[in-house]
Amino acid sequence: MGKKRKKSASTPRVKRMNRNSRLQSAAASWLKSYNGTRHIRAYRKYFGVDAGTAITELRILGVPLTDDAVRKAKESEKASTRAKQARKEKRLRRQQEQQVSEVPWSDETFAYIAGYTGWGFPYGITWEEMERFADQDSLDATLPPRTWKSPHPQTDEIWFIARPEGEEVPFDLEEFLRYHAEADKSVTKF
């Protein structure tokens, strides 16, 4: 059995340091090797800290910082924070719009997907069928509703049941009684 290897961290070591470690590292190597003029920006980028921390630690190390450079660094950080927040809000708005527009039970072919076959093909009501249903509904809405007293065109034995919307549905009492009589006979008693 071989030795187990330690899992290496994905974040660089200098970005995982605490304040004391950063101050020692900066005093020992970073300040000596840095020859730029933008100390705050470089310190933030190298050690992965915010502007306030960079300013405090650079002052502890004795780096001369102008008031103008400190003000610009703080303003820059505030601006980047506002921009990041704006991007986040924009992304959330876009996601919410997509969730509203994307209905999981419809796609470009089907207005309503009732289910899927064993092979994964959807089945349901297509957009063309939905348009026909909508046309039929609008046509039905233009016709006056039948009243209780109007007979069925084929026989006088069929009654009408009124739905709450005012639409009437044909109802055959004899067929209803026959169906329930057969259903009662088919039920076995224990």
Locate 104 and state its tokens: 């999981």
The Cα 95–Cα 3 span in angstroms is 47
Rounded (5°) CA angle 24-11-75? 70
Is the separation of the CB atoms in 61 and 23 below 8 Å?
A: yes
Q: Where are the chain's structural domains?
A: 13-100, 110-142, 151-184
CB 19 within 8 A of CB 12: no
Q: What is the pLDDT of residues 8-28, one digit of tens each?
A: 778 888 888 899 999 998 888
The pair phi, psi for residue 186, each rounded to 5°, is: -75, -15
Report residue 110: phi and psi, to 5°: -110, 130
The 10s digit of each residue's pLDDT in 43-97 is: 999 999 999 999 999 999 999 999 999 999 999 999 999 999 999 999 999 888 7
Q: 111-153 pLDDT, tens per residue? A: 888 888 888 888 888 888 888 877 776 666 666 655 555 555 5
Task: For the chain, state the CA radius of gyration.
Answer: 38
Strand, coil or helix: 45: helix
Q: For residue 21, what is the enclosing H or E element?
A: helix 19-25
pTM listed for this prediction: 0.47
Question: What does the buried/exposed string (b/e) look like for 179-189 if buried means 16 or more CB atoms within 10 Å of the residue's CB?
Answer: eeeeeeeeeee
